[in-house]
C-alpha cells in the first residue's frame, strides 16, 4: 500500500491575466488537502478508482472520457505498473471553488502511484503530468494550479514554454480567511467567457490584464517587505479589475464587502470566479471577526489559514 497527499491552493493575485502572459502569485494551503491510497486489487479488478466521498467507483482502464482516468492510466504506464490496482481518492477541498481541487487530487494520485512503484518524481515532472489532466477539465488552464500544488510553496508564475516559476519570498506570515460562496462554477466557463470578451475587444482587455500584472508585481514586493497593509490595498485593487473583466458575482461581492466591513486589510475573489471562494487578508486578532461577518453574509463555509514562506 502507498499513500500520498497534496494541498489546496489559492491565487493571491493575477487570475485570468495569467492566461495571457501576465504574472500571478499563488499559495498552497497546507492544512487543506486531497489524498490518494494505492493498493493491490482483487484479481480481475483492473485499474479501479474509488471516491468514497462522492459514492463513486469506476474502472479507469475502461473509462476513456474522464481526465482523471486518463491520468491514472498514463501514470501507471509511465511507472511500469501493471496488474490489478485499486486507488482510493479523498479530499477536504471544495470542488469547483477555485481552490485547485482537481490539481490536488491529480497530484496526490500521481504521487501515490509513484510511491507504490518505489519512485519519487520531481515536482516539475508531477506538475507536467497533472497539467495534461487539467486541460481535460478546464480547456486552456494557465498551468498555475498544478504548479503550486506540486511544488507546495508560494510561487511567482508566468505562463510560457516552459513557464517561469520562482519561489516567492514571504517575509511575514499571512493570515487569510477564506469564504466559500457555495456556488459552484466550472473553471472553463468563466475562462471561455473572458476569451470571448478578449477576442471582441483585445485592446481593452490587454490593458486590463496589464493592470492586473502590475498589481501582482507590486504585491510581490509588498510580500518581500512584509508590508501587509499595502498588500491588502493591492488585493482590493485586483478585485476591482476582476469585476471589470467580468468574473465576479453578487455572492462574491457580498462576501468581499462583508470582510472589508469587518476590518480585513483587503479582500478579493480567488480563482476563476462566478462563484467559488474569496479571500481576506487579516491582521492579528481580527480573523474571528471577519469569519463571523462572512458567515452572517451567507458564506457556505469559512476557513482560516496562515501562509508562510516554507
Catalytic residue set: 145
* R_g of the chain, CA atoms, integer Å: 19
Question: Kind and range of the H or E element at 37?
Answer: strand 24-40
Set of cell numbers at residue 8: 489546496
Cross-strand partners of 302 = 179
- 253-275 in b/e form (b: 16+ CB < 10 A) is ebbbebbbebebbbbbbbbbbbb
First-to-last C-alpha distance (Å) of the chain: 29
124, 125, 127 from 152: Cα distances, Å: 11, 14, 11
21, 56, 98, 218 from 158: Cα distances, Å: 6, 36, 19, 15
Phi-psi bin for 155: left (phi > 0), alpha (psi -120 to 50), beta?
beta
Whether the link from the prior residue into 215 is cis, omega within 30° of 0, is no
Contact between residue 232 and residue 256 where contact means Cβ atoms under 8 Å apart:
no
Give the max Cα distance, the chain: 60
Could you tell me where the DSSP H helices lie in 80-201?
101-116, 123-138, 144-151, 188-200
Q: Is 183 helix (H, G, I), strand (E, B) or coil?
A: coil
What whole-number distance in Å separates Cα of residue 98 and Cα of residue 9?
Answer: 8
Amino acid at each position: 500500500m502507498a499513500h500520498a497527499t497534496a494541498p489546496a491552493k489559492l491565487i493571491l493575485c493575477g487570475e485570468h491575466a495569467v492566461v495571457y502572459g501576465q504574472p500571478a502569485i499563488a499559495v498552497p494551503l497546507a492544512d487543506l488537502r486531497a489524498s490518494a491510497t494505492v493498493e493491490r486489487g482483487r484479481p480481475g479488478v483492473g485499474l479501479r478508482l474509488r471516491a468514497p466521498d462522492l459514492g463513486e467507483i469506476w474502472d479507469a482502464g475502461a473509462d476513456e472520457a474522464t481526465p482523471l482516468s486518463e491520468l491514472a492510466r498514463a501514470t501507471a504506464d509511465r511507472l511500469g505498473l501493471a496488474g490489478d490496482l485499486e486507488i482510493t481518492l479523498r479530499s477536504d477541498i471544495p470542488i469547483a471553488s477555485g481552490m485547485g481541487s482537481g490539481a490536488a487530487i491529480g497530484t496526490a494520485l500521481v504521487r501515490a502511484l509513484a510511491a507504490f512503484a518505489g519512485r519519487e518524481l520531481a515536482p516539475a515532472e508531477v506538475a507536467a503530468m497533472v497539467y495534461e489532466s487539467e486541460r481535460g477539465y478546464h480547456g486552456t488552464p494557465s498551468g498555475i494550479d498544478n504548479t503550486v500544488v506540486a511544488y507546495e510553496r508560494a510561487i511567482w508564475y508566468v505562463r510560457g514554454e516552459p513557464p517561469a516559476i520562482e519561489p516567492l519570498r514571504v517575509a511575514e506570515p499571512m493570515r487569510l480567511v477564506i469564504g466559500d460562496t457555495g456556488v459552484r462554477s466550472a473553471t472553463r466557463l468563466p475562462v471561455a467567457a473572458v476569451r470571448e470578451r478578449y477576442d471582441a475587444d483585445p485592446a481593452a482587455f490587454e490593458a486590463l490584464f496589464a493592470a492586473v500584472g502590475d498589481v501582482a508585481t507590486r504585491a510581490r514586493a509588498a510580500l518581500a517587505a512584509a508590508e501587509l497593509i499595502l498588500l491588502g490595498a493591492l488585493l482590493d485593487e485586483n478585485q476591482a479589475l476582476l469585476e471589470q473583466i467580468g468574473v465576479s458575482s453578487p455572492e462574491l461581492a457580498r462576501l468581499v464587502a462583508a470582510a472589508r466591513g469587518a476590518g480585513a486589510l483587503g479582500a478579493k475573489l480567488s480563482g476563476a470566479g462566478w462563484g467559488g471562494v474569496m479571500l481576506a487578508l487579516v491582521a492579528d486578532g481580527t480573523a474571528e471577526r471577519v469569519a463571523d461577518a462572512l458567515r452572517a453574509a451567507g458564506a457556505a463555509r469559512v476557513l482560516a489559514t496562515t501562509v508562510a514562506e516554507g
